[in-house]
């Protein structure tokens, strides 16, 4: 896995998923169970670090999404 830095580009509380826009320009799917503080919700625009990996369907996604202090 590769650690990336970026920000939460979108998050849908009802569906529990969103996208991280990496500083490298990549966009990566994540599910709320991957938010490291266990909150199941994260605000759009928050700076994060995450672990890039291949998901169940063979697509790039991120896990261990961790909000950075502001």
Could you give phi then psi for residue 32, rounded to 5 degrees? -60, -25
Nearest to 61 by CA among 10, 13, 26, 24: 26
Name 55's Cβ contacts closer than 8 Å, sequence gap at least 6: 29, 61
| Tens place of pLDDT per residue across the chain (70 aa) | 799 999 999 999 999 999 999 999 999 999 999 999 999 999 999 999 999 999 888 889 999 999 999 8
pTM: 0.92
Contact between 18 and 9 (Cβ < 8 Å):
yes
Contact between 20 and 5 (Cβ < 8 Å):
no
Q: Where do the domains of the chain lie, and which CATH numbers do they carry?
A: 2-67 (2.40.50.140)
pLDDT of 30: 97
pLDDT of 55: 85
């Amino acid at each position: 896995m590769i650690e990336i830095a970026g920000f939460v580009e979108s998050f849908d509380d009802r569906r529990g998923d969103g996208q991280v826009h990496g500083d490298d320009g990549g966009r990566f799917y994540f599910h709320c169970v991957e938010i490291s503080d266990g909150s199941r919700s994260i605000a759009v625009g928050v700076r994060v670090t995450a672990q890039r990996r291949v998901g169940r369907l063979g697509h790039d996604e991120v896990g261990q999404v961790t909000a950075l202090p502001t």
